[in-house]
Amino acid sequence: MPPTELPTRPSGDSDLIVSRSEGLYCPPGDFYIDPWQPVDRAVITHAHSDHARWGHTHYLAAQPGAGVLVSRLPGIDLQTAAYGERLDINGVTVSLHPAGHVLGSAQVRVEHHGRVWVASGDYKLDTDPTCAPFEPVRCHTFITESTFGLPIYRWEAPQTVFDSIDSWWRHNAAEGRASVLFCYSFGKAQHLLAGVDVAIGPIFCHGALEPINRAYIAAGVELPPVRLASEVAAKDKAVFKQALIVAPPSAQGSPWLKRFGDYSDAFASGWMRLRGARRRRGVDRGFVLSDHADWPGLQTAIRETGALRVIVTHGQVEPMVRWLREQGLEAGAFTTQYGDDALEDAANAAEAVAPATSDSP
């Protein structure tokens, strides 16, 4: 039976996924989804650090994201599956479906005795050439994020944002000033690299991005030619005057920036929608670009699952649960450790330890 068809849900059944201290657990299948404590079998929705952690005995993830996952967690025992491939885990049918969040991101569809649950991980509905687009999956119960689950969060079309970034970069280049763009190294950076106008000038990146860029290219994602900033002698600042330099937030305020001479900086994130966020970041510009669904996107995704029960894991949990109940849906929440941007930034910093040493001016 294809995932678009939904079997009749039996009445009086127990929950197919529950919350435990280790993470989200499927009792009949004896596996966890994105657990934050070490377990025997973990199904991973994507390789961001709050969802993919060290210490599990066995990992299962979508095949397109294997390169990034292994680059972040080298040496793990990893099984991969193609999108839509159906696996049997202790009598439970499991399949992975595109989430549109980052390369290899997946929703986990779990079916057992007529019950169908989907754990979405993180997702977005906007077009992104660096990953497979979000695929609605019909289910009885949908487990959703709600990172941007407030009406204030409404994204412009990605191309509109890229036009603004290009305009900022073009103006800086005309003034002989480098353009430093901060963003998270996995997902956001590649989305930006694939979307900017490469005709404006050369593109450089921080060392933390290089292994992830390489994994994207190995997976068949088209990215523009990018040089490491460390390839240029620290005293040679002229080469950066028309350049775009993409770097993780952990590089902000570091000595690494001195090599660029005069520069304008910016930050790309959905949080830039908030008044004062750019000021708190201490950058010249803020661009609203997110790898998560906005408020209308969350509503659309939930509606297209056909689920009558929705469980919220992280983000704006209470407002989303309240809205869901107003729509007549059964709604609740799981307490999780997802959605920690500080954890992701810490991973970026750890990845950059070796490159940062060679990049120092």
**Of the given ranges (176-190, 226-240, 242-256), which has the lowest mean pLDDT?**
226-240
| Domains 18-152+291-342 and 158-289 are alike in CATH topology | no
pLDDT for position 4: 57
- Each residue's pLDDT tens digit, 208-223: 999 999 999 999 999 9
Amino acid type, 296: P
Mean pLDDT (whole number) for 185-189: 96
pLDDT above 50 (res 138): yes
Which residues touch 57 (CB under 8 Å, ≥6 apart)? 38, 39, 40, 41, 77
- Which of 176, 159, 169, 126 shows the shortest CA–CA distance to 266? 169
Q: Are 227 and 72 in contact (CB under 8 A)?
A: no
**Residue-range domain boundaries for the chain:** 18-152+291-342, 158-289
Neighbours of 345 (CB within 10 A): 17
Domain 18-152+291-342 has CATH 3.10.20.740: no
Cα–Cα distance between 101 and 131 in angstroms, integer?
Answer: 7
Strand partners, 179: 244, 264
Mean pLDDT (whole number) for 239-245: 96
CA atoms within 13 A on the CB side of 343: 12
Give the 3-state secondary structure percentages of the chain, helix then strand then coil, rounded to 5.
30, 25, 45
Domain 158-289 has CATH 3.40.50: yes
- Each residue's pLDDT tens digit, 315-326: 999 999 999 999
**The whole model's pTM is what?**
0.92
